[in-house]
Amino acid sequence: LDLLPPKVGAVIDGVDATEEDVESQYAATTLSASWFGFSDLQTGIHHYEVSVGTVEDPSLVVDSVNVGLETTASFYSLPLVDGLTYSFTVTAVDGAGHRASNSSNGVLVDFSPPVVADSGTPVDYDVDAPPLDTSYRASDEDTRLVASWEFEDEQSGIASYEWRCCPVLEGTVPCAQDWTAVGETTR
- Residue 139 to residue 146: CA distance in whole angstroms: 8
Residue 11, phi then psi, degrees to nearest 5: -120, 125
Residue type, 57: D
pLDDT at residue 110 tops 70 = yes
Per-residue model confidence (pLDDT) at position 138: 53
What pLDDT, on the 0 to 100 scale, is given for residue 150?
80
User: Tens digit of pLDDT for each residue in 52-89?
Assistant: 999 877 677 889 999 999 999 999 999 999 999 999 99
Smallest CA-to-CA distance from 76 within 112, 28, 13 is with: 28
Instruction: Centre a 10 Å sphere on the Cβ of residue 60 and count the other Cβ atoms it contains.
Output: 12
pLDDT tens for 139-158 read: 556 666 677 778 887 777 78
Q: Do 85 and 106 touch, CB atoms closer than 8 A?
A: yes
- Tens digits of per-residue pLDDT, 119-135? 555 444 444 545 444 44
Other C-beta atoms within 10 Å of 110: how many?
A: 21
CA pair distance 47, 71, nearest whole angstrom: 10
Longest Cα pair distance anywhere in the chain, in angstroms?
86
Burial of 84 (0-12, 13-18, 19+ CB in 10 A): middle
User: Average pLDDT for residues 150-177, to the nearest whole number?
Assistant: 78
Does the global pTM surpass 0.85?
no
- CATH architecture of the domain 10-109 equals Sandwich (2.60)
Q: Would you list the domain boundaries of the chain?
A: 10-109, 114-187
> What is the rounded average pLDDT of the residues 109-122?
73
* 31, pLDDT greater than 80: yes
Q: What percent of the chain has pLDDT over 70?
A: 82
pLDDT of residue 122: 47
More confident residue, 173 or 128: 173
Which residues share a beta bridge with 115?
Answer: 152
